Amino acid sequence: MARSELAMALLVVVLAAGCCAPAAAVAYLSKLPVTLDVTASPSPGQVLHAGEDVITVTWALNASQPAGKDAEYKNVKVSLCYAPVSQKEREWRKTHDDLKKDKTCQFKVTQQAYPGTGKVEYRVALDIPTATYYVRAYALDASGTQVAYGQTAPASAFNVVSITGVTTSIKVAAGVFSAFSVASLAFFFFIEKRKKNN
């Protein structure tokens, strides 16, 4: 009896704590001000190769913004985002206004303290899928909530070609093992034929 009362009291406390906990701030892309100027080194339509090519990304507070506008910016998060052409018929890449549900910008380039202006060189990661991308930077407040952003225009998007996973060494190994298997088959066929004739 005492155990059930204790369990019930604990359940009530947990439920009350869950109901009274402050809700996490929700950021909507349509409500965020565009205060950051973002540039990326690839030219529109340029083809980059995963694991090989490097993107230089720069960001700064837009010159038209008043001084101190970025006072609440504590961090900046830069991501690669799927361009609209790479989102067609792919629900797992779709843009959503609620940034917690947004699937456009899945690949983090960097997250660092907000220095006002910044620059990063990013080698395209090997796990980046083949698609067309642009770059977006979010300014984050102390709680990690997006409070502003900037991006390269989707019209100036660039292409990334991912690795196929089939390297030259794998092709050579497959050729050697294939030749070995054919040679083994021929050798054992010859041995069996010879035993049969004796």
**What per-residue confidence (pLDDT) applies to 67?**
82
Q: What is the 3-state secondary structure (H, E, C) of 62-109?
A: CCCCCCCCCCCCCEEEEEEEECHHHCCCCHHHCCCCECCCCCCCCEEE
How far is Cα 101 from Cα 81, in angstroms, rounded to an integer? 14
pLDDT grade for 104, boundaries at 50, 70 and 90: very high
How far is Cα 117 from Cα 6, in angstroms, rounded to an integer? 56
How far is Cα 20 from Cα 4, in angstroms, rounded to an integer? 24
- Over the stretch 4-41, which tens digit does the pLDDT of each residue have? 665 565 655 555 555 444 445 678 989 999 999 999 99
**Mean pLDDT along residues 109-124:** 93
- Over the stretch 127-149, which tens digit does the pLDDT of each residue have? 899 999 999 999 999 999 999 99
**What per-residue confidence (pLDDT) applies to 21?**
42
Range picked from 61-70, 136-145, 164-173 for highest mean pLDDT: 136-145
Q: What count of other Cβ atoms lies within 10 Å of the Cβ of residue 120?
A: 15
Q: What is the 3-state secondary structure (H, E, C) of 153-188?
A: CHHHCEEEECCCCCCHHHHHHHHHHHHHHHHHHHHH
**Mean pLDDT along residues 91-104:** 89
pLDDT grade for 125, boundaries at 50, 70 and 90: very high
Q: 78 near 136, Cβ under 8 Å? A: yes
**Mean pLDDT along residues 162-184:** 85
Q: 105 near 93, Cβ under 8 Å? A: no
Which domains are seen in the chain, by residue range? 27-159 (2.60.40.1930)
**Mean pLDDT along residues 93-102:** 90
How far is CA 68 from each of CA 35, 58, 139, 150, rounded to the nearest angstrom? 12, 20, 14, 17
How far is Cα 29 from Cα 122, in angstroms, rounded to an integer? 25
Residue 116 has pLDDT above 50, yes or no: yes
Predicted structure pTM score: 0.70
User: Among the listed ranges 51-60, 155-164, 165-174, which one has the minimum average pLDDT value?
Assistant: 165-174
How far is CA 48 from each of CA 117, 143, 160, rounded to the nearest angstrom? 25, 35, 5
User: Among the listed ranges 40-49, 97-106, 187-196, which one has the minimum average pLDDT value?
Assistant: 187-196
